Amino acid sequence: MGVSYIPVVRAGELSAGAMKEVDLGGRAVLVTLVDGRYFAFTKECPHEGADLSTGGQLLDGAKIRCNNHSYCFDLQSGACLVPQGGAPLTVLPVEQRGDEVCIRLEW
């Protein structure tokens, strides 16, 4: 098994609640800082593909709500909280390595 760390932002670059879009090999991923923790997740809502960078609202407790249809997702697990049992949001593991925030990829 291999592991790779892809730097996506520098520690301190994002203010709380800000989102930054990064390209991960042709896939758009958003990185955010919520409650002192970094999270990375796909830019598109799994319900109907809405752009979460412009149509998503970060909520307390590390959650994001898609403003199109009010679907709400847990940024830690990706689980769809509202409506319960909806398609999950793809989330990626994030680690701070020195002064870089990295997405961890395993294969």
Answer yes or no: is pLDDT of 22 > 90.
yes
- Reported as a single tens digit per residue, the pLDDT across 46-92 is 999 999 999 999 998 999 999 999 999 999 999 999 999 999 999 99
DSSP 23-72: EETTEEEEEEEETTEEEEEESB-TTT--BHHHHEEEETTTEEEETTT--E
Answer yes or no: is pLDDT of 1 > 90.
no
Answer yes or no: is pLDDT of 107 > 90.
no
C-alpha angle 64/15/10, rounded to 5°? Answer: 105
Closest CA to 12 of 4, 22, 20: 20
Band the pLDDT of 34: cuts 50, 70, 90. Answer: very high
- Whole-model pTM: value is 0.93
Determine the number of helices (DSSP H) and then strands (DSSP E) in the chain.
Answer: 1, 11
